[in-house]
Amino acid sequence: MRLEFRAIGKAFGELQALRDVTLNVAEFQSLAIIGPSGGGKTTLLRIIAGLETPETGQLSIDGQRLDFSEASLLLHRRSIGTVFQAYNLFPHLTARQNVMLPLVKVHDVAVGEARAIVDSLFERFQLSAHADRHPAELSGGQQQRVAIVRAIAIKPRFLIFDEPTSALDPEMTAEVLDFIAELRADGRNLIIVTHNMGFAREVSDHCLFIADGRVLEEGRSSELFSRPQNPLLVNFLAKVLRY
């Protein structure tokens, strides 16, 4: 897929989260967005996800310009799958009901058909045993996997992950990252914000480095991680890869 940012700016009160981001991201299948906390990567991701509206600028996805009216954003959000850090699932619904909700209520899939879709996805991703459990009865890793299944069940154009493992312990992190790697191997388009550099490098074919509200470097992940150019990126990678 392709992304084009044109003069995108976004402020939260005093804080300028994104400053005039202009960039053509070349054809990619999996894009990682990295950078220090508070640098603007999550804001950029949320604009792509249709959850945030920039004050200035334009965004095109696969050559289609995104209209930032609430009605079009609703349609946009319905066409993609988004997974947040944690608490994606609704606590009063079972795992199966959580996945069925958007299928039935948003995408007008008949209940029987939705159930069949969910059951086959759960079967494939080893979640069948947990189908009738509520989120509180699942581990953090299982909750995230159910949330990912909910995102893919609607056959989204692409998937968005906002630090999907930052609330998990290392073992569960591996479980969720394996799942995402599997989705990539299936040929799905992904955009992922992550603090896990090893994973970013392995799963993405393209990478953006964002700090201080600007995209300071972008390129093929193989290049960017092995030969970083921008001193801030060199510094950042040196720091996060030290331990």
- Residues of this chain that interact with another protein (CB under 8 A) are 49, 51, 74-75, 77-78, 82, 84, 86-92, 101-102, 105-106, 134, 136, 150, 154
CA distance 99 to 117: 9
Evaluate whether 210 touches 33 at the Cβ level (below 8 Å).
Answer: yes
Question: CB of 51: closest distance to another protein in angstroms?
Answer: 6
Closer residue to another protein in complex, CB, 127/233: 127
The token duo for 11 is 């402020």
Phi, psi for 154 (deg, rounded to 5): -85, 10
Question: CB of 59: closest distance to another protein in angstroms?
Answer: 17
Question: CB of 105: closest distance to another protein in angstroms?
Answer: 6
Read off the amino acid at residue 163.
Answer: E
**Tokens 């069948």 correspond to what residue?**
128
Evaluate whether 134 touches 143 at the Cβ level (below 8 Å).
Answer: no
Closer residue to another protein in complex, CB, 24/72: 72
Closer residue to another protein in complex, CB, 160/183: 160
CA distance 51 to 191: 15
* Alpha-carbon distances, residue 105 vs 41, 64, 89, 98 (angstroms): 31, 26, 16, 11
Rounded to the nearest 10°, the torsion over CA 105, 106, 109, 112 is: -30
The token duo for 51 is 């959850």
Q: State the Cα angle at 98 between 86 and 174, rounded to 5°.
A: 40
Question: CB of 32: closest distance to another protein in angstroms?
Answer: 20
Closer residue to another protein in complex, CB, 91/112: 91
Closer residue to another protein in complex, CB, 2/105: 105
Question: CB of 107: closest distance to another protein in angstroms?
Answer: 8
Closer residue to another protein in complex, CB, 8/89: 89
Question: CB of 8: closest distance to another protein in angstroms?
Answer: 20
